[in-house]
Amino acid sequence: MLDRLGTGLKDAVKKLAGKTVIDRAAVEELVKDLQRVLLQADVNVKLVMNLSKAIKKRSLEEEPPKGMSVREHVLRIVYQELVNLMGDEVTVTLGPQIILMAGLQGSGKTTTTGKLARYFQRKGLRVGVICADVFRPGAYDQLKNLCNKVNVPCYGEPGVTDAVKIVENGIRELKNTEVLIIDTQGRHALEDDLISEIIDLNNLTKATHRWLVIDAALGQQAKEQAARFHEAISIDGVIITKMDGTAKGGGALSAVAETGSGIVFTGSGETIEDLERFDPDSFISRLLG
Ligand code: GDP
């Protein structure tokens, strides 16, 4: 844990070494360094400020547990507060469920739908996928190709524009599946009809989960997107894609805060296997690295 915090905060952490009492100046310096690193990683300013306040307060007020050095004590607080920033742990149930995918175009929603199908299939569940992306030409073929690779049935009606009808038909066609994943349309912007359509789909399917897909490279816009989708369908998990790129993913944390949920999975490549369950430790080390 301490090593993970070390990289980005090396100098500040060094200054805490050998201290026997908590020193306000050293804590402030550490917090300042932490702020710089988090802002560079695209974490929202308000989140950074709240985190700083909590770290300062706890470091100065809480007594280090017996046998723990001042340095370890402060770093433990920093680590705990960073974990807090990642939101709640999201459990993934391995049983019957309907998952509604939300997100803007280009976020990686279709690819992630295929990856999730593969994930649940590997867990021994019968999976089916519905393409309700009626906006992007080629969305059905893309999803179908992904699903074909792993023999997962994919329902779609290319050319039809009524997403609700497609999903109704899809549910009927795929009634023998345990996990049903619905890829919805994305747009370049949060248009009203996009939002009203996903509300209709959520009402129709009574989805077990409504997961929001966010590109790791998305900065401050993540907050607005998350707010809008959350207001519409109550997002209960965030998936961060393109973690194999250079972005540190800090912007996506606004989506987590905005929805009061947590990160379910991260995506790290274009193939159907490139999906991982969220791991706070590696995410933190990436944010600070
Ligand atoms: P959608 O419009 O949200 O459905 O987005 P797509 O699933 O079509 O993805 C947009 C682009 O991002 C495609 O070229 C995908 O191959 C790519 N992509 C999706 N997820 C990842 C990822 O985790 N890593 C990388 N490197 N590329 C990804």
pLDDT single digits (tens) 225-273: 999 999 999 999 999 999 999 999 999 999 999 999 999 999 999 999 9
Interface TM-score (ipTM) > 0.90: yes
* Residue 190 exposure: Cα atoms within 13 Å on the Cβ side: 14
Give the position, in ligand 1's atom list, of the atom nearest the Cα of 183.
4
* Ligand 1 centroid distance, CA of 242 (Å): 7
Q: Is the CB of 273 under 6 A from ligand 1?
A: no
Q: Please give the pLDDT value at position 8.
A: 64
Distances (CA, A) of 277 to 262, 274, 280: 12, 10, 10
**Residue with CA closest to ligand 1 atom 26:** 269
Give the position, in ligand 1's atom list, of the atom nearest the Cα of 213.
3
Give the position, in ligand 1's atom list, of the atom nearest the Cα of 136.
2
Q: Check if the beta carbon of residue 236 is closer than 8 Å to that of residue 202.
A: no
Q: What are phi and psi of 185, to 5 degrees?
A: -75, 150
Q: How far apart are CA 254 and CA 97, in angstroms?
A: 27
Q: Check if the beta carbon of residue 132 is closer than 8 Å to that of residue 166.
A: yes
Q: Is the CB of 269 under 6 A from ligand 1?
A: yes
Q: Please give the pLDDT value at position 100.
A: 98
Q: Is the CB of 262 under 6 A from ligand 1?
A: no
The helix/strand/coil state of 237 is strand
* Ligand 1 centroid distance, CA of 112 (Å): 8
Q: Please give the pLDDT value at position 180.
A: 98
Q: Please give the pLDDT value at position 5.
A: 63
Q: Is 19 exposed, middle or buried (0-12, 13-18, 19+ CB in 10 A)?
A: middle
Give the position, in ligand 1's atom list, of the atom nearest the Cα of 268.
23
Q: Check if the beta carbon of residue 41 is closer than 8 Å to that of residue 82.
A: no
Any alpha helices (H) in the chain, and if so which ranges? 2-6, 10-16, 24-40, 45-61, 70-85, 109-122, 139-149, 163-173, 192-205, 221-233, 252-259, 280-288
Spans of the chain below 70 pLDDT? 1-8, 10-12
* Ligand 1 centroid distance, CA of 218 (Å): 13
* Ligand 1 centroid distance, CA of 243 (Å): 11
CA 57 to chain centre: 28
Q: Please give the pLDDT value at position 6.
A: 59
Q: Please give the pLDDT value at position 3.
A: 56
pLDDT single digits (tens) 212-221: 999 999 988 9
Q: Is the CB of 173 under 6 A from ligand 1?
A: no
Q: Is the CB of 114 under 6 A from ligand 1?
A: no
Q: Check if the beta carbon of residue 243 is closer than 8 Å to that of residue 250.
A: no
* Ligand 1 centroid distance, CA of 82 (Å): 27
Q: Is the CB of 249 under 6 A from ligand 1?
A: no
* Ligand 1 centroid distance, CA of 268 (Å): 10
Which positions make up the binding site for GTP? 103-110, 241-244
Q: How far apart are CA 20 and CA 243, in angstroms?
A: 39
Q: Is the CB of 113 under 6 A from ligand 1?
A: no
Q: Please give the pLDDT value at position 220.
A: 87
